[in-house]
Amino acid sequence: MPILIFLILLIPLLLLMIFINIISISFTKLGFSPFFAIIIIFGSLIGSFINIPFTEIKSEGNVVSYKPSKYGWFMPEPVIEHRSVRTVISANVGGAIIPVCVSLYLLIQFPSMIFPVLIGTAICVLISYKFSTAVPGLGIAMPVFLAPLASAIVAVVLAVIFPHAIRTVIAYVSGVLGVLIGADLLNFSKIKTLGTPTASIGGAGTFDGIFLTGILAVLLV
């Protein structure tokens, strides 16, 4: 039994190591050294807990919360409340700022990719905006694998049109900026209807759509 408990406790650590390894593969495919890739990964993990506020707005809307039913918390009962609050808008370091900085670094390193990236980003912005929705009490959401798949396909097509294009760079930058602009920035006005006290761009950190889109898109190409 102690050995079984020990093995069960190791499962989260194993999953974390697999997740870090996947991210590391993506960054090395982008041309980063393994050492620098590890720095980005752990910087993103630590940055997941850091939100930098930059503005505050008035927000109101119907928010779903839960309370115990007659069966207790095993079957919670949803409660819809209309709230009017001050919403603090912030940017998450790990989920938004670091991916954007990596994107800018790649464009500086490969200036010939700017034009293909602009085309790819425009397409990803349209797709992200089309399929993103405002979820009361939560934030802006969209299908998890849509953006990575779209940016990967766009990168492959553009690599055919522009023979010297680097697919991984196009996939990463187009995916990151596409989700940031299309899903978050263009839906900024919808935040006023969510009724949440805080709204963080990239707030899920390394599990946020902005961060994961770039990583998964690079793996797909």
215 vs 82: which has the higher pLDDT: 215
Global model pTM greater than 0.85: no
Q: Where are the domains of the chain?
A: 2-58+87-220
189 vs 60: which has the higher pLDDT: 189
| Single-letter amino acid code for the residue at 212 | L
Determine contact, residues 175/147, Cβ cutoff 8 Å.
yes
Length of the chain: 221
Give helix 167-179 / helix 98-109 axis angle, nearest 10°.
Answer: 140
pLDDT of the residue at 138? 62
Enumerate the β-bridge partners of residue 140: 134
H-only helix segments in 86-192: 98-109, 114-131, 146-161, 167-179
Per cent of the chain over pLDDT 70 is 88
Across the chain, mean pLDDT equals 84
Work out the average pLDDT over 122-139: 84
| Single-letter amino acid code for the residue at 77 | E
Measure the CA–CA gap between 174 and 148, rounded to whole angstroms: 10
Cα end-to-end distance, the chain, whole Å = 44
Predicted confidence (pLDDT) per residue in 59-84, tens digit = 766 666 677 777 776 677 777 676 67
